[in-house]
Amino acid sequence: MIQNQLMRLLQFVPNTLTSLNLFFGATGMMLAFQGRPDLTAWCVLIAAIFDFTDGFAARMLKAYSDIGKELDSLADLISFGLAPAAAFISLLHYGISGNWKLQFFDYALPLQLLFVAPFLLTVFSALRLAKFNIDTRQTESFLGLTTTATGMFSVSLIHLIFTRGGNWEMLASPWFVFPAITIFCALLVSEIPMFSLKFKSFGVKENVSRYLLILIGGVSLVLFGIGGIAFTVLGYILFSLLSRLGKA
């Protein structure tokens, strides 16, 4: 009897971890609007850890459910689609006003529309997640950039700008923000093959891109801290594109 009750309780572990993913994503969004996108980056990083562990827990406990699948997508939308968009809004506001905290109603309608434009990243993240959920081709690799990678790039780069300042603040310009958002929106729903980070073996020849990416990630994290994640994601995109060109 006790064993059965314990097993039933363990079935809730994956969904609890997914809910924590969502919780930290929502908290990160709030912090971005309060002018602390650096803390948003930490929240999204924690959300990503929970996003990884919920799937691992589901496999270990064999606790798969339709609710868990839907909840996972909803949590990812908040943590890697909505919170990063809020961080971009904070960055955009800083580039225009010199203040990270958004005072939305202090501006006329044209600028208000400018500030909400980064939410396009949220819209395309939702399209990406919906597409992934019904696409049977993405079991071994991905088509288009994942929402997790997009979100991590966004918040880590903004963390770098916030903490390092200096020349990095040039990236707070609308001339950078909007092209960056446009490119990542396109990548989210593109058909570009992105290689899987899972190792099927540890041979160098078949894992060159993975090992190089690990090297880039390690060096970038040492040099730039959390901001190094942005360079790792860029490396991932570049290696995926080169891999596709090599097969063309």
- pLDDT score of 195: 75
Per DSSP, the residues of 62-98 read T---HHHHHHHHHHHHIIIIIHHHHHHHHHHHHHHHS
Tell me the whole-structure pTM to 2 decimals: 0.89
**Band of the pLDDT at 193, cuts 50, 70, 90?**
confident
* Tokens describing residue 218: 């390690």
For 78-101, what is each residue's pLDDT tens digit?
A: 999 999 999 999 999 999 999 999
Structural domains in the chain, sorted by start: 2-247 (1.20.120)
